């Protein structure tokens, strides 16, 4: 039996996964509730981190220290910054970058983190599992994170150009970084809730949040059944 931690930034995302799994145990540490249940022979531990990199990193470390997972998945929604990635498509983060991390004043590349580099690689094992799950609407590539909901089209294009990123969100890279430092296999999975190429980001996001959350949770379940 494997133990799989699943981190969601928001309650809407977590609620969609709660429709998939029967919860057998709840544990609260500080103000964070961890929900446990089984999929196949895997013990899944669900938790809502809150939005942003600090909240995500805090919960990731707490999950690792207290629950001892074998794998961690970060499941949620994101905004597309690629013309190839459409609304409700799935993006598998093969690599992560913090696009707001900037020490270029010291002659480093944008996004470079000392001791880490520009990119954080996610688990090859988990990425390979995703490659075995068919779907023309599934994309593999870089996901970019920052403490900002990006709505400006030119800024989005620049992030895409700088990092060859497919989508942007606010937690994944920090979760991957903590997992990298703790040697825990990690994968970030997103469904697209908004796009710089599809109308108003904020309005589209509000309209599609639940649908995109449902789709990415269903995809995550397929991964878990193959671990």
Q: What are phi and psi of 84, to 5 degrees?
A: -85, -15
SS3 167: strand
Residue in 13, 16, 48, 169 annotated catalytic: 13
The answer to whether the CB of 124 falls within 8 A of the CB of 217 is no
Q: Which residues contact 148 (CB under 8 A, 6 or more apart)?
A: 100, 170
| Residue among 129, 98, 94 at smallest CA distance from 4 | 129
Residue in 89, 98, 194, 221 annotated catalytic: 194
Catalytic residue status for 40: no
Catalytic residue status for 164: no
* Angle between helical axes of 11-18 and 201-224 (0-180°, round to 10): 40
DSSP string, 28-46: EETTEEEEEEEETTEEEEE
Task: Tell me which residues are annotated as active site.
Answer: 13, 194
């Amino acid at each position: 039996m494997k133990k799989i931690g699943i981190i969601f930034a928001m309650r809407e995302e977590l609620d969609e996964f709660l429709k998939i799994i029967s919860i057998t145990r709840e544990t609260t540490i500080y103000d964070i509730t961890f929900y446990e249940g089984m999929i196949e022979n895997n013990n899944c531990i669900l938790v809502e981190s809150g939005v942003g990199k600090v909240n995500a990193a805090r919960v990731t470390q707490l999950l690792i220290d207290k629950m001892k997972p074998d794998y961690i998945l970060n499941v949620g929604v994101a905004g597309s910054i690629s013309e190839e990635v459409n609304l409700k498509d799935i993006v598998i983060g093969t690599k992560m970058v913090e696009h707001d991390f900037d020490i270029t004043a010291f002659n480093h590349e944008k996004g470079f983190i000392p001791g880490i580099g520009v990119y954080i690689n996610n688990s090859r094992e988990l990425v390979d599992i995703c490659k075995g799950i068919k779907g023309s609407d599934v994309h593999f590539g870089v996901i970019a994170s920052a403490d900002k909901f990006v709505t400006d089209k030119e800024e989005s294009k620049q992030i895409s150009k700088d990092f060859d990123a497919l989508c942007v969100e606010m937690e994944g890279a920090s979760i991957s970084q903590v997992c990298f430092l703790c040697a825990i296999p990690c994968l970030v999975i997103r469904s697209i809730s908004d796009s710089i190429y599809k109308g108003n980001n904020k309005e589209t996001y509000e309209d599609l949040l639940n649908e995109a959350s449902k789709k990415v949770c269903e995809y995550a379940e397929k991964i878990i059944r193959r671990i």
